[in-house]
Structure 1
Amino acid sequence: MIRKMYMRRFIYFFVFFLLLTLSLFYVMNRSSSKTLEENLISASKNQLEYVTGIIDGIIYEANMYGVQFAADNDVRFYQNQLVELSNYDSQMKKNEIVDRLRQTLLSSRSIESIGIYWKSQETFLSTHNSSEMRQIFKSVEERGWQIVNNSLYYFVIYPYIQKPGTVEPTQYIVGVKLKTDYLKSMLKKAINNNSSNAFYLFKNQELWSEKAVEASLLKTVTDLLVPQQASTVKYDYHNPSEDYYVLSRYVEPIDAYLITYTRTNDFLKPLDRSRSVFLASIIAVLTLGLIVIFTFYRNYYRNLRLLEKKFSQVEQGNHHTRIQVHTGREFFSLFRGFNHMVSEIQDLFVSLKTETQLRRTAELKQLQAQINPHFLYNSLFFITSAAQFSPDAVMRMSKHLAEYYRYLTKLDRHEVTLGSELQFAEHYLIIMALSKKMDYSIQTPNDLTSFSLPPLMIQPIVENAIQHGIEGRQGAHQVKIDVVETREGIQIEVSDDGKGLSPEHMYNLQAELDQDTAPEGSRGMGLYNVNKRLKNTYGEQAGLHFASNSWGGLSILLLIPEHAEKG
């Protein structure tokens, strides 16, 4: 009885909520039409003001360039200089002025061309020289903005400052032509969507628009237009089938209007349709909703909440959780599958942890096993031969050989420091320098010695420099290790004065290192392992690179990118 009363109250609440929703929907639908129109008008005004700001910037830019070249000394004295200069120098002066005009256009998206016309000599210089433009400049009589041949020009006449009571003849005219297509493209920024359109209307009734404008709308708007500087004016236009709101902004410098208009029917009709659909469907929702809610709660909701809770526990790392509730039908299989899945995940994590530890140990053992055993044989033979005549050399060789193998046998950590890796490489170089004539140097900043990196990264590169570099060229004896910090990251460069590689061989070697499979045989295996480990640890930007050095030998660059996240 209690459960029945609870569900009844819930149904009463649902019906009350549904009726309240109907009432609110009716009120909101009536007000939303008004609000939508106000928002559309506000958005259109903002867009119109934004485009007007851009146009004002374009106008200011054209005015600035016009005045700049009108007051330029090279332009003012150009005709006088032509009399004094040779033909070659005159042509160079002309080229210089034209180049300056063209350089100006490189920084502007809105200016199509700039021209200068000297009336007395009928000389014309322009970035787009043509007889048509010459005639346009020739007919200019006053300063300001003009529309000529469907293009917008700004003209400056020099002298542009006249003494009171005198009229000085025009010396030259500077004209700036704007890009008509660019100005028209601004119209797209002033409209909301396909239900809107925008156009320029100039004082001579010339119309610029990318879409056709309805004649009756244009006539009505033209009759209502009043110049109002720095303000947007709204007009309403109605015809038997459609309603519009029109926004106008007067652009004083060019004596034109920027006008947008939007058809409101397209925005309000969906509201009317949605109201009808809502009223028709709310009755069906009322009936079906009660049935679905009651059934869903009894048969699904409680079980879904339980399953959601258990999934949340698994997400938080509790892999021991299980569902002990016994239920019939589909949820029994679902709960059993959940318990099996969690059990498998728990076993998988244990297996993965064990496998990861074994893999790391195996990789380290593999790297240690790759050290050339001939290195140990040669070192022992050197000790045997040097023991008779140089005990000091035997002591040095034994000391560094012991340090060398002690470092190898204690590599049980996933990371070591750059300082310890360089010290390990130095032990190797000292051992090699005792058994053959060889010089080496290691340079590294003190602040980088504590940088952590995977072990056995530098020694294989040094070994490669000796075996394939120095030993391949008679008289070669130098190995250098440079560690620097660049903008790209930490760069470790190992250089030798050996036989080096041709660009083609370096390209082929780089391609081998970038392959997914290791090269066949032992040759190149050390460099391949170092390159792959770098990329696996620090990302694709890390790795080995090759270059020729000033000795004529080969330089191998080990790059660790800055701020690289270790994988």
Structure 2
Amino acid sequence: MNLNLTRHPWKKNALRRLILSFICILLPLYILSMIIYNWGIRTLQDEISKSMISQVSGYFSGLEEEFRRIQTLQYDVLSDDNLNALGAIPDSLNDIEKMQSILRLQQRLNAIRNSSTYIKDVYAYIPAIQKNVSALTISSFNQQEFEKLRNIPLTLDSQVMNVDGSMYLSAVYPFSTPSSKRGPLFIVAIELSKEKLEEHLKLMINSPDEGLIFNSSQFVITTSHDAAFDKEISAHMSNNANIGNAQKLVIHDKHYLAVYTSSNFFGAVLSKYVPENAVFQPLQKYRSWFLLLAAVALVIIVIYSLYVYKYIHKPLDKLVKAFRKIEHGDFDVRIEHAINDEFQYIYKRFNVMLGNLKSLIDQVYKQQILTQKAELKQLQSQINPHFLYNNLFILSTMARLGDYENLEQFTNQLGEYFQFVTRNSSDEVPLWKEVNHAKVYAEIQTMRFSNRLRVEFDDLPDNIGHVMVPRLILQPIIENAFEHGLERKPEKGILRVRLLKMGNEIQMIVEDNGEELNGERIASLKDALSNQEGLEMTGILNIHQRIRLKFGHTSGLFVERSELGGMKATIVIDHTNGSGGV
């Protein structure tokens, strides 16, 4: 199994990749919609703020224009003939003419009063006749009011004055500085209605939480009845350097949006404050729609994930599990799919393919097993007559010479040898038995070639003697070494058998110092073992194939030139693959 996939199973999980890819598709759309939403919200907030600023500025400009118009009418009265006659040359008029002039002047003052709802009354203070003529009444001259009204600011624009809590527009004729000793002939003063101004201010508010403040150095007009709150708003207003802009305020833990505009004519600032939640209330529905969009996107992702899991991931997972069962040798697995779709077709073809594969494997595997068994039985029955005759001759010689101790040992060894070779009860034996049989054979050959052969045979390492191996895989290799390498060597023959355990591998190495096999012959043997053709099936190829059939393609028989000078044959057994399979 791929270790990388074992350590990181998410890398092979198609479900996660499908969901992540779908999220990656939706995420840019969601982010873009969020950007558009925030941009739209900011734009709407700016537009609402600008609308409020425009409303307040428009109202203040209209009010200023109205008051300028009133002031123009006021200045026109200064040139009135009746007023000038009464103020400058009263002595030239008799009582009747004076009264007629006063009435005509009163009519004109009344016309000015009726020209605007903001005018409460219009007064003409005339010291020469000691009269105060208004649009409504004629009264005695009031020197105190006269002195207060004559002290108008020295500015180009006549500003609204606060006289004893009342609002006035004052026009002095002729105009003189406060240090001038010459007094005015008369004063035309217009008393403005604070009530009407407050009433018109209230028309600009839409809820009780909103308010307007008309704040000047002379007076304050407000739509609120909370003096402390008005004072706090005014403090923010006086500290605000950006007149004409919107500003967010927090007063008593409540958020307000305030807009300001100023007027030099009034010498005042008009401010409007509105709770933010009231101003931006229309935006709440957009926020709700956006949250709904987010919720719908989440629901779509969940539904898509469930859909992919049910109709794609689960069928794929079932198919993967079926393949894993096949990897472990279970060829009886069958998978079904109720829905008529591509997976149903794949499942049906998988079942058909598995049936054909199982049939083919049964045919090939059984055929190979039967063939190997037949060849093994043939190998077991083909006892080398030359080997038998030589051993019988050795027995005869020992009996004739009276070497009964070696005779008994030799006889026992021959008995063990032929008992192992001719035994048909099992085609597999524990490794220790196979090694013991090969060792007995080597000892027999040692007694035969005692004067010209030395055998070095390692002991079997611990914990591997129980491994089941095919019969007759080591002894034929040793026999091949004797026949093709050592039998014709006159002296100093060496046969070395090493038994090694290297990780999951067991290695049985047989090498000799024979000189009959040249490099070309060894290369031919290696090629034949690699291609599994060209050698007799009852020879080393038979051993190679049986080992591979049992332990897999990483196991087998491998030959090369030995460091001793002869051939080196290595049997490799990867016993972790003991279930077999080529």
Q: TM-score range, shorter-chain basis?
A: 0.3 to 0.5
Higher-Rg member (1/2) = 2
TM-score scaled by structure 2?
A: 0.40
TM-score scaled by structure 1?
A: 0.41
